[in-house]
Structure formats: structure tokens, C-alpha cells
Amino acid sequence: MTGQVIGCCGLLCSQCPAFLATQANDVAKAEETARLWAREYGLGLPVEHVWCDGCTRAGRKCSHCAECEIRSCALGRPARELRRVPDYPCSQLTGFFEAVPVARRTLEWLRARD
């Protein structure tokens, strides 16, 4: 996972189509991502809500990352990332991990390296 941009929740930002479109400044890819998310998640996002530089980086955030409660919690803590806080995993993360088990594996991998 070296070189990856990893979100506060354990998702790999650097594999997200919004992040990839943003880094490439690819309007067509961003529009494709907005259509994909509309189909998969029922989101009616305008393309300007897709641009994202990653949740732990400065810059733009796609609409979900800008509103993400896990991200808000992590950035509001001294450690900056949930994998390092004493109450890890909190109930919010546990619920997220049930839906996205790969995110737990990523954070566990990071915790083992700390």
C-alpha cells in the first residue's frame, strides 16, 4: 500500500474514480463518475461535487467526503487518524467496516506499522 492515499476510514482515495479524475483534471472522467454514482448509489450529483483531492489532503472534497462523519471525527482528534486513537474502533467505524470490510483491513495494516 506504499504510495497510496488512504482516507480516514481506510478507503483508498488513490483508487477512487473521483480522486483519479481530479488528479488528471479529466472532466469527462468526473462526469462519468457522477453518472456511475447516480446509478450505483442513487446520487444525483452535479460534476462539480465529484472533484476530490483526498480526504486527508488539503483541497477539494467530493460531496460525500466533505460531509463524512468519520472524516470529521478523525480530523477533530489530535492523532488526526482514527487508527491511532484509544477508542478504535468506535461504533461508527464498526458499522462502516460491516459494509466495507476492506477498509478495516487497510486500517489494521496501518495500525500494525505504527
Q: Which three cell numbers stand for residue 67?
A: 460531509
Q: What is the pTM of this model?
A: 0.84
- The whole-number pLDDT of residue 87 equals 79
Give the structural domain span for 33: 13-113
pLDDT, one tens digit per residue, over 40-82 is 888 888 999 999 999 888 999 998 888 999 998 888 776 656 6
Q: Answer whether residue 5 is part of any domain.
A: no
Report the mean per-residue pLDDT for the chain.
88
Q: Answer whether residue 56 is part of any domain.
A: yes
Q: Answer whether residue 6 is part of any domain.
A: no
Give how many domains the chain has, as a whole number. 1
- Burial 48-84, CB ≥16 within 10 A → b, else e: ebbbbbbbbeeebbbbbbeebebbebbeeeeeebbbe
Task: Spell out the SS3 assignment of the chain.
Answer: CCCCCECCCCCEHHHCHHHHHHHHCCHHHHHHHHHHHHHHHCCCCCHHHCCCCCCCCCCCCCHHHHHCHHHHHHHCCCCCCHHHCCCCCCHHHHHHHHHCHHHHHHHHHHHHHC
More confident residue, 25 or 88: 25
Please determine, for residue 90, whether its predicted confidence score (pLDDT) is greater than 90.
no
